[in-house]
Structure formats: structure tokens, C-alpha cells
């Protein structure tokens, strides 16, 4: 195949893969695009050509899938347009290195000629995605497993092997399909593909966790404060008035405001104002979660924190997994200059503890995670199985009217599937939603509206296999596939596909 055509096709396939994610939810599309990518790898003349094909696919996928970062950098971070575009290109190029590495390794002749090649591709792809989600604090956005939540039959595997396991099975299915496209005389690949998807459908029928107690009434508040006005001192009174009215309108026992809903430090918040809101929560025999920044006298740091007020003793949760260049500047001697070109308030947060436990609120055990934290499933399960509810608070106003907030919603849907728990999302501008333990959005508010979502949520107990074992099961599967692939490739019993 012509080299230039292959690169154009790979880029287009990467762009098309984005349609598998929210807000489109066309989960069969990534199966097709990844199969065609695998076919391009099999037809590459050299490992270098396969690596370039994988890199180009990645540039299409991330270039189309994370364009909302331009909104964050330019519209709200006030970075110069050319610099914002350059930063986005550099990030996409870094992320594209991971599919490039997968293509490079799997294109070596002794691997490509092995009967175990599909398993090798799947294992290396999943391992590369895990590395992308781990190195330099990680950026696991657009991990292809997310595209299967919640409707795909493969989503049945989420409570067992998590999102990286879904990525592995999706790429395994795609590699089998690619091998069939290359050699249509062999139909054993369809047997494998059909079996995996049928098992996934069967797993969807299993209830890994059980309801605990009566449903609790909840109110998820969406203040809809414009990002370009949120940190202006003259707008503070209006913001606090909006949330005071939303809280007073709530009929629920558990009331949740978004991340840093009040743009001030906890120590600066008027005590009579907080007492008024707490009294309303107590009148409902419940509790209220409020997001504020927090100064610490013990370590002179400041934290992105959720505070509780109401019937239960006051508790708090400090954000652990911070956003690089958004909430802290890594390697300040090298990257400190970014503060001068990226005007983001409070860009030097400290980390909360990784061992924080669920908050006892409104008769539930609530595992709080703030914004970007719900992208890391292996960290969410650290508060399980003790927690009965998951709560994500966020300010996705940084993404504007892009596909970013919907992609974040789908990530929360995956966390609900993995843990067998309701996920309650309270966001500034959307998507504020209630997600059940099957990953289905039960109710949501329209984006960019000022409102409260008043409904009920069911607490759950028990533990899914993913909660018990985390990513260890998918690592075991990756190890077995890599071992089988290596033995098949280097033994004298190789078989041509």
C-alpha cells in the first residue's frame, strides 16, 4: 500500500474513532477503525513504517478528541492563540507516541507471522494505554475502553477487568477482524470475536453489588457561573447568592455543590452564611457538601477541598490527583515560566492524602472525587468497598461548549460500571447527572443552566472483582498474552496466519 495513502488513512481512522466516545456513543466504530489500523500495521513494510502509521493514527485521535484543551488554554487561560495551538500539537504528539510504539513492536516479522499476533497487539495496546495513563501523573483521556460504556456488550467486562481490560478486548477483537480481512479463508477469528462479545453480554446480566438501605434524596447543584467571571471579586456576592438560593430550594438530605463552588478560601467564608446553609441541611436531617479552597496552617500549603456541613460532624476531602499545569506546575525550575503565559488562578495546589476514607453523610458513606480524579479508576477503588455512593464534583466550564464535558460524563459512567455504585456528578456548567450502578445516566440537567437536580440515589454494598483486584487481573492477562506471543514467535513451531 502506498505510504502516503496509509498515513492519510491512519489519520482519518484516528479522527473517526472519536465518534465511539461521548457525546456520540457509536461504540462499534472503534472496533472497525482499530481493525483497519491493525490491517495497516500488518501490511507495513518495516517496523518504522508501522510506527509512523500508529503515530499518525494517534494524531488524528487526539487531535480531534482533545480539541477542548484549546478552549482551556486560550479562552480561559489567556494563552496566545499560536502558543495554545503549539501546546496542543506537542501534547497530541506525545500521546501519539504510545500507538506508535505498539505498531513498531508488533510489525516485526517474527511477531507478525505468529498465530498469537492478535493477542500480542491487544496486550501491547492495553499496556501502552496504561503507561499513557500513568507516566508523568498520567493522561488516560480517550482510552479506547471508555468508548464501550455503557451499552456495548464489552461493558460487561468493566466490573471484572476495568477500562484497560476493555481496551485489551476491543483491540483483540479488532486484531482478529484484521486477520480475517487479510485472509478470508479462515473463520476461526470470528469464533473468537463472537465468543468474547457474547461472554461480555452474559456478564452484563450479573449483579456484582447489592442495594443497601433505602434510597437517599439528593440535590446536585449547578450554579452555571461563567468561567471568565468566576474569580472576579465583584462577582463573588452574586455567586454566593445563587448557591444560597439553590441550597434553600433543595428538599433533599444530601446536597452537593461543584468543585470550588465558592471562589474563596474556607477561612474567608462568612461564618453566618455557612451556618445558614448548614441549618437548612440539618432541617432535612441531612448534609451539604461545599467546594472551597483551603489554606493549611500546618504545612503552609493550600488544597482543593470539599467540606461537609449539616447533621453529621464536619468532614472534608482534599483532592489528591492534581492536574499538571492547571493545579500545580511540575519541575518549576524548568516550567515555571508557564505561570506568566497561562493565567490560571490557584495553580499551585498541594496534594491531599491518598488514604482518605469515605465521608459519613446523610446515612451514606460517600467517596468524593474532584474533577480529573475520576479518570483514574485504580485510585477511586481505594475508598471501596466501604463507600456506598460515589460523588464527583467538577468545573467543566474550562471546556466551554465542546465535547469535553460529555467525554468526562462517559468516564464517570465507566467508574460506576467498574465499582457497581451510583455516581453523582455536580458540576458548575454541566454535565450534572445521576448515573446508576450499570453506568446508565438516569437523570441530567441541561448544560449551561442554573438549576438543582433533585432526585434519589440508591446506596450499594459489596465489591466487584475490579474493586477487589484492581488492574492486577488485566496485568495478568497482558502477561499471559505477551508470553504466548513471545513463545510462539521464537519457537520453531511458528504458524502463518
Residue with cell 437548612: 280
Residue 372 has a pLDDT of 87
Residue 490 has a pLDDT of 73
Average pLDDT along the chain: 91
Closest by Cα among 180, 200, 178, 196 to 188: 180
- In the residue annotation, 371 being an active-site residue is answered as yes
Closest by Cα among 158, 248, 253 to 203: 158
User: Coil, strand, or helix at residue 126?
Assistant: helix
Q: Which three cell numbers stand for residue 368?
A: 468524593
Q: Which three cell numbers stand for residue 201?
A: 453480554
The mean-pLDDT minimum among 67-71, 136-140, 172-176, 295-299 falls in: 295-299
Residue 229 has a pLDDT of 82
d(CA 147, CA 373): 19
d(CA 374, CA 62): 20
Q: Which three cell numbers stand for residue 380?
A: 477511586
Residue 409 has a pLDDT of 98
- In the residue annotation, 319 being an active-site residue is answered as yes
Residue 494 has a pLDDT of 46
Query: Each residue of 201-210: pLDDT tens digit?
Result: 999 999 999 9
User: How sure is the predictor about 347, in pLDDT bands with cuts at 50, 70 and 90?
Assistant: low
- In the residue annotation, 214 being an active-site residue is answered as no
Question: Under a CB-based contact definition with an 8 Å cutoff, are residues 104 and 23 in contact?
Answer: no
Beta pairing class for 287-295 and 433-435: unpaired
d(CA 250, CA 180): 57
State pTM to two decimals.
0.94
User: How sure is the predictor about 145, in pLDDT bands with cuts at 50, 70 and 90?
Assistant: very high
Does pLDDT of 337 surpass 90? no
Which DSSP state fits 104?
H
User: How sure is the predictor about 335, in pLDDT bands with cuts at 50, 70 and 90?
Assistant: low
Mean pLDDT of 206-232: 94
Mean pLDDT of 179-186: 82
d(CA 118, CA 114): 9
Residue with cell 488524528: 60
Q: What letters, b where the CB count within 10 A reaches 16 and e where it falls short, cover 67-98?
A: bbbbbbbbbbbebeeeebeebbeebbeebbbb
Catalytic residue among 129, 327, 371, 437: 371
Q: Please state, in angstroms and as integers, the Cα–Cα distance from residue 397 to each residue in 54, 72, 76, 224, 422, following that order.
A: 32, 9, 9, 8, 23
Catalytic residue among 230, 319, 327, 373: 319
**Spatial CB neighbours of 275, under 8 Å, sequence gap ≥ 6:** none
Q: Which three cell numbers stand for residue 92?
A: 497530541
Phi and psi torsions of 166, nearest 5°: -65, -40
Q: Which three cell numbers stand for residue 108?
A: 516485526
Q: Please state, in angstroms and as integers, the Cα–Cα distance from residue 370 to each residue in 171, 227, 328, 367, following that order.
A: 30, 17, 15, 10
Residue 338 has a pLDDT of 52
Torsion sign (Cα): 438, 443, 447, 450: negative
User: How sure is the predictor about 346, in pLDDT bands with cuts at 50, 70 and 90?
Assistant: low
What is the number of other CB atoms lying within 10 angstroms of the CB of residue 204?
19
Does pLDDT of 76 surpass 80? no
Which DSSP state fits 356?
-
Does pLDDT of 164 surpass 50? yes
Amino acid at each position: 500500500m502506498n505510504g502516503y495513502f496509509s498515513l492519510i488513512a491512519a489519520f482519518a481512522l484516528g479522527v473517526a474513532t472519536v465518534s465511539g466516545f461521548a457525546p456520540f456513543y457509536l461504540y462499534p466504530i472503534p472496533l472497525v477503525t482499530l481493525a483497519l489500523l491493525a490491517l495497516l500495521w500488518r501490511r507495513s513494510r518495516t517496523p518504522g513504517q508501522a510506527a509512523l502509521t500508529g503515530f499518525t493514527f494517534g494524531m488524528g485521535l487526539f487531535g480531534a478528541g482533545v480539541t477542548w484543551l484549546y478552549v482551556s488554554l486560550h479562552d480561559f487561560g489567556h494563552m496566545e492563540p499560536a502558543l495554545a495551538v503549539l501546546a496542543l500539537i506537542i501534547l497530541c504528539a506525545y500521546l501519539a507516541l504510545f500507538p506508535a510504539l505498539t505498531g513498531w513492536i508488533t510489525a516485526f516479522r517474527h511477531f507478525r507471522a505468529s498465530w498469537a499476533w492478535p493477542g500480542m497487539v491487544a496486550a501491547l495496546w492495553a499496556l501502552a494505554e496504561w503507561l499513557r495513563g500513568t507516566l508523568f501523573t498520567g493522561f488516560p483521556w480517550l482510552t479506547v475502553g471508555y468508548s464501550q460504556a455503557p451499552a456495548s456488550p464489552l461493558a460487561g467486562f468493566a466490573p471484572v477487568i476495568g477500562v484497560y481490560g476493555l481496551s485489551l478486548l476491543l483491540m483483540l477483537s479488532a486484531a482478529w477482524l484484521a486477520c480475517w480481512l487479510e485472509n478470508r479463508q479462515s473463520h476461526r477469528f470470528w469464533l473468537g470475536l463472537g465468543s468474547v462479545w457474547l461472554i461480555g453480554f452474559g456478564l452484563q446480566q450479573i449483579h456484582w453489588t447489592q442495594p443497601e438501605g433505602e434510597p437517599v434524596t439528593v440535590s446536585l447543584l449547578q450554579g452555571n457561573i461563567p468561567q471568565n467571571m468566576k474569580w472576579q471579586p465583584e462577582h463573588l456576592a452574586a455567586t454566593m447568592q445563587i448557591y444560597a438560593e439553590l441550597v434553600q430550594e433543595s428538599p433533599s438530605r444530601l446536597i452537593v455543590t461543584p468543585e470550588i463552588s465558592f471562589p474563596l478560601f474556607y477561612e474567608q467564608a462568612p461564618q453566618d452564611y455557612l451556618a445558614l446553609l448548614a441549618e437548612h441541611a440539618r432541617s432535612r436531617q441531612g448534609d451539604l457538601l461545599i467546594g472551597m479552597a483551603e489554606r493549611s496552617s500546618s504545612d503552609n500549603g493550600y488544597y482543593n477541598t470539599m467540606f461537609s456541613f449539616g447533621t453529621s460532624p464536619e468532614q472534608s476531602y482534599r483532592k489528591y490527583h492534581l492536574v499538571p499545569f492547571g493545579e500545580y506546575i511540575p519541575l518549576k525550575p524548568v516550567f515555571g515560566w508557564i505561570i506568566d503565559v497561562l493565567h490560571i488562578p490557584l495553580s499551585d495546589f498541594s496534594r491531599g492524602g491518598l488514604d482518605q476514607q469515605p465521608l459519613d453523610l446523610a446515612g451514606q458513606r460517600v467517596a468524593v472525587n474532584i474533577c480529573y480524579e475520576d479518570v483514574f479508576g485504580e485510585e477511586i477503588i481505594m475508598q471501596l468497598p466501604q463507600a456506598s455512593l460515589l460523588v464527583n464534583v467538577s468545573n467543566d466550564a474550562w471546556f466551554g461548549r465542546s465535547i469535553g464535558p460529555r467525554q468526562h460524563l462517559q468516564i464517570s459512567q465507566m467508574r460506576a460500571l467498574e465499582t457497581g455504585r451510583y455516581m453523582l456528578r455536580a458540576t458548575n456548567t454541566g454535565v450534572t447527572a445521576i448515573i446508576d450502578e450499570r453506568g446508565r445516566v438516569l437523570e441530567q440537567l441541561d448544560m449551561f443552566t442554573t438549576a438543582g437536580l433533585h432526585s434519589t440515589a440508591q446506596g450499594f454494598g459489596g465489591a466487584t472483582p475490579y474493586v477487589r483486584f484492581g488492574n492486577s487481573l488485566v496485568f495478568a492477562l497482558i502477561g499471559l498474552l505477551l508470553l504466548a506471543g513471545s513463545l510462539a514467535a521464537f519457537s520453531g513451531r511458528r504458524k502463518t496466519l
